[in-house]
């Protein structure tokens, strides 16, 4: 099966085409530092062809959830270094996902209790953010509350500073030992807030016509590529979803233009997040074929894939690599389970966010499960 064949991604030789995509687990330590427990978690999953880390905020302003790791302080870089060292020692490869949530935040998580920032001063209906109401840390659990703080629109003269934050986060990621970086441009976060027409109500050079709405994406990619080199940069997009209030009036045209732009900029891969909830709309085959035509690099798809769906995507050329998200939570040796057809451990949803080792590093691999 093609899913288990090697693949060349830039300078990396991947042993299979299985990607562990980014998944927030909200288990960082004080100061939003990745922990030794995180090193164990990621190293357990090093048999993936490629791991993309959970979203890691590029600045204090970019944080949207409690106990998520950052990559803007020396302590955070050191925390991530223990993770990358553990993954590499286990034979794996890992990219850092760089994250600025924009309006999907809360004043309680912002420096000085400031208003979150966005492309425009719009609140997404029903957006929820995760905060720790106890203040006691990740082991106390992570509470959910509705966002009630209106975001403010970024001034045009503030935008270069955020672009610079992405570039510095890339330097920090490379110093922490990551093999590359992925920009989070999906799920209603800041880059997505600039791209989508209903989220971006600006009237300056970053709003209005499509090329203006793609300007922030272009400037961030250019800054990051200047640091890491294009082949070590990926971008995650969610073209046809409307998560967290990010809605576009002509999504297929918008995201084909974004993919074309990213191809021109030479980024190493495009990571397409399909809807993965029950009864979600199916991404049209014609759109996947069009993405392949306009973007010449590596295409990763993620979103409720089975082995059978993955093989179809690879065989028909829509995708080069396939992300398996939630199954990786409960199955550290997921590639071997998929290859052999072994039963999968069932994940415990109650331990997805916050907590300690339970539901994080204690899921058994096949060998351990057989001995139990």
What would the pLDDT profile of 53-80 be if each residue is shown by its tens digit?
999 999 999 999 999 999 999 999 999 9
Q: Which residues contact 297 (CB under 8 A, 6 or more apart)?
A: 262, 263, 266, 267, 268, 269, 270
Residue 241 has a pLDDT of 86
What would the pLDDT profile of 331-355 be if each residue is shown by its tens digit?
999 999 999 999 999 999 999 999 9
Residue 275 has a pLDDT of 77
| pLDDT for 174 beyond 60 | yes
Identify whether 352 is a catalytic site residue. no
Average pLDDT over residues 353-362: 96
Q: Band of the pLDDT at 371, cuts 50, 70, 90?
A: very low
What would the pLDDT profile of 245-298 be if each residue is shown by its tens digit?
889 999 999 999 999 999 999 999 999 999 766 555 679 999 999 999 999 999
Q: How far lies 328's CA from each of 20, 28, 82, 269, in Å?
A: 7, 19, 21, 21
| Matching residue, tokens 């090697």 | 6
Residue 243 has a pLDDT of 82
Q: Which pair of tokens denotes residue 313?
A: 């995507």
What would the pLDDT profile of 186-232 be if each residue is shown by its tens digit?
999 999 999 999 999 999 999 999 999 999 999 999 999 999 999 99
For residues 354 and 214, give the distance between their C-alpha atoms in angstroms, rounded to a whole number.
35
Residue 273 structural domain: 2-371
For residues 1 and 11, give the distance between their C-alpha atoms in angstroms, rounded to a whole number.
24
Average pLDDT over residues 20-37: 97
Element (H, E) at 159: helix 159-175
For residues 38 and 341, give the distance between their C-alpha atoms in angstroms, rounded to a whole number.
28
Determine which one of 95, 189, 255, 360 is catalytic.
189
Write down the pTM of the prediction. 0.95
What's the structural domain count of the chain? 1
Residue 65 three-state SS: coil
The CATH code of the domain that includes 129 is 3.20.20.70
Residue 129 has a pLDDT of 59
Start-to-end CA span in the chain (Å): 30
Crossing angle of helices 215-228 and 251-265, in 10° steps, is 30
Give the best-scoring range by mean pLDDT among 103-117, 126-140, 219-233.
Answer: 219-233
Q: What are the start-end ranges of the H helices in 284-333?
A: 285-294, 307-315, 326-330
Looking at per-residue confidence, does 239 or 107 come out higher?
A: 239
């Amino acid at each position: 099966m093609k899913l288990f064949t090697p693949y060349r991604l830039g300078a990396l030789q991947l042993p299979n085409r299985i990607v562990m995509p980014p998944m927030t687990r909200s288990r960082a330590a004080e100061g939003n530092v990745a922990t030794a427990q995180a090193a164990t978690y990621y190293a357990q999953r090093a048999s993936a062809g490629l791991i993309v880390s959970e979203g890691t905020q590029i600045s204090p302003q970019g944080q949207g959830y409690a106990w998520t790791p950052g990559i803007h302080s020396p302590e955070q870089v050191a925390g991530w270094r223990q993770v990358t060292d553990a993954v590499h020692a286990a034979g794996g490869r890992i990219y850092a996902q760089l994250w600025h949530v924009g309006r999907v935040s809360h004043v309680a998580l912002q420096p000085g209790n400031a208003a979150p920032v966005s492309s425009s001063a719009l609140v997404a209906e029903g957006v929820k953010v995760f905060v720790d109401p106890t203040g006691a840390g990740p082991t106390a659990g992570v509470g959910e509350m509705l966002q009630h703080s209106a975001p403010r629109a970024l001034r045009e003269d503030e935008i270069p500073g955020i672009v610079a934050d992405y570039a510095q986060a890339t330097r920090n990621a490379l110093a922490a030992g990551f093999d590359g970086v992925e920009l989070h441009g999906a799920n209603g976060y800041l880059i997505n807030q600039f791209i989508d027409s209903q989220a971006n109500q600006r009237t300056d050079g970053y709003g209005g016509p499509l090329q203006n709405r793609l300007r922030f994406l272009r400037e961030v990619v250019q800054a990051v590529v200047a640091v890491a080199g294009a082949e070590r940069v990926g971008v995650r997009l969610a073209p046809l979803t409307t998560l967290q209030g990010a809605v576009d009036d002509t999504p297929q045209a918008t995201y084909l233009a974004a993919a074309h732009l990213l191809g021109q900029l030479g980024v190493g891969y495009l990571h397409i997040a399909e809807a993965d909830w029950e009864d979600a709309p199916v991404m049209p085959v014609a759109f996947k074929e069009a993405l392949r035509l306009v973007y010449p690099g590596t295409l990763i798809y993620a979103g409720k894939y089975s082995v059978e769906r993955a093989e179809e995507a690879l065989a028909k050329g829509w995708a080069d690599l396939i992300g398996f998200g939630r199954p990786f939570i409960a199955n550290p040796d997921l590639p071997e389970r998929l290859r052999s057809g072994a039963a999968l451990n069932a994940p415990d949803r109650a331990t997805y966010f916050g907590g300690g080792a339970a539901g994080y590093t204690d899921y058994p691999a096949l060998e351990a499960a057989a001995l139990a």
